[in-house]
Structure formats: structure tokens, C-alpha cells
Amino acid sequence: MLYQSIEYLGNSALYYTRDFGRMGSYLFLSILGIFKRPFRYNELLRQIHLIGANSLVVIFFTGSFTGMVLGLQGYYTLSKFGAEGVLGSAVALSLIRELGPVLTALMITGRAGSAMCAELGIMRNSEQIDALECMAVDPFRYLITPKFLATLIAVPMLTLIFNVVGIYGGYVAGVVLLDGNPGAYFVSMQNSVGNEDINLGIIKSFVFALLIVWICTGRGYFLHKIRNAGFGAEAVSRVTTQAVVMSSITVLVWDYLLTAMLL
């Protein structure tokens, strides 16, 4: 029993060390693919469309309702102190520094990250990635790098859209529905939001984009190496779920770390 427990611990340590090493070299090769030629511009545009343009509706709805909730809650709380005038500032800072990057990242993980993971997992299962390697086509340059670049371009842009829509959502709830002061909403926002807040939000969205695309595509790509993943369709579903959960948790952990480092 003791012997088996020690063996299990040892095997687990080896597995996680190998897995981490594999994911590290995966990240390196994916970034290296950006500098390899010929570059697949059309595929990059297609991926930006899939990850970015196709996520606009989701981002629009999430952004507007998040802003509206912030507007309602903010108005209710601030009115207790007679400070409704700073509602615009509260909504904008919450969105730009925190909620915009985090919620956009979580929505993109669910919408595009899961799709990328499942796509690569199915390609791995049906030997399509092996076929590319056998044709001496670099799967990183061909498949992964366009997804990396597209996510790094699309997520910060979606975050900015989320912020703008959210700010107007807060305006609708706090000013239009609750009769707040429209001038005070925008003036307080302009007075309190600085470049450092916008930069923090953008840095966060870049880091989150990298984490999402790294984890989601990496898990799909190494589907055959993941312990206890099972086989066939079951493996794809398990690994996709695992990738989404892992990305979401990692985004939240890094959100805290980045806030602590850059505050």
C-alpha cells in the first residue's frame, strides 16, 4: 500500500513535470511560428473573424448587462452616501480595470477557446495533425500560430468594445432609468479615468488572451498525451471541459497577480 502510494506520487510528479515542459515548448514553438514563412494571412483573417467578429453579439450582451447591473447597484449604494454624481466614475473604473478584461476573457474562453480545443483534439484523434507532419508541413505555423495571433488581436479589441458598451449600459440604468444626472455621469468618468487605468486593462487583456489560446489549443493539440482523458469523442469532450476550466481559473489567478503587480 505504501509502496503503491509512493509509486503513484512519483508517477504523478513525472507526468506533471513532463506536461509542463511540453506546454512550455508548445508556447515557444507557437510564438516562433509567427516568424516562419510563408505566413498564412488568409487563415489569420479567418481566425480573427471566428474569434473576434463572431463573438461580438456575446460581448455586446454581456457588456451591456454588466454595465446596467453596475449602474443599478452603483446608484443604489452611492445614493446612500449622496454620491450618485460619481456613478460614471465607479462604473467606468470597474469595467476598464477589472470586469471588462476578465469577463471578456471568460466569454472568449467559453465561446472560442472551447471550439479551438475541440477542433485540434478532433484533428489529433483523426490523425490529421500526423498527416500534416508527414507532409513536412509545420503544424505550428499552419494551425496554431494563426490562432495565437488572432486571439492576441481579437481579445483586447473585444475588451475595449465590452468597456464602451458597459459604460453606456451603466448610463442607461443609472441615468435614463433612475433619473441620474447625465452630465455628472460622463464628467466624473472623465475626471477619474486615466491612461494608467486603460493601460492596465489592455495589459490584462493581452495576458488573458495568451493564457486562453495557450491552454485551450495546447490541451487539444496534446489530447493523446493527457492522462485519463479516455479515447475518441469522450477524450475530446473531457479535454475541452478541462481546458475551459483550466483557462478560466488561470485567468482569475492572473487577474489577481497582475492587479497586485501593476497597482
Q: Is 1 in the site for other proteins (CB under 8 A)?
A: no
Contact call for residues 240 and 121 (beta carbons, < 8 A): yes
Find the binder of other proteins among 6, 13, 137, 249 (CB under 8 A): 137
Question: Which of 111, 224 has the CB closer to other proteins?
Answer: 224
Find the binder of other proteins among 112, 123, 189, 226 (CB under 8 A): 123
Cis preceding-peptide flag for 146 (omega within 30 of 0): no
Output the DSSP codes for 56-110: HHHHHHHHHHHHHHHHHHHHHHHHTTT-GGGHHHHHHHHIIIIIHHHHHHHHHII
Range in contact with other proteins (rule: CB under 8 A) among 49-57, 107-115, 135-143, 168-176: 135-143
Question: Which of 75, 142 has the CB closer to other proteins?
Answer: 142
DSSP collapsed to 3 states, 9-43: HHHHHHHHHHHHHHHHHHHHHHHHHHHCCCCCHHH
Site for other proteins in 27-46 (CB under 8 A): 38
Q: Is 126 in the site for other proteins (CB under 8 A)?
A: yes
Q: How far is the CB of 135 from other proteins (least distance, A)?
A: 5
Q: Is 261 in the site for other proteins (CB under 8 A)?
A: no
Range in contact with other proteins (rule: CB under 8 A) among 103-111, 123-131, 145-153, 207-215: 123-131
Choose among 206, 176, 174, 203: nearest CA to 88: 174
Task: Give the footprint of other proteins on this chain (CB under 8 A).
Answer: 38, 122-123, 126-128, 130-138, 142
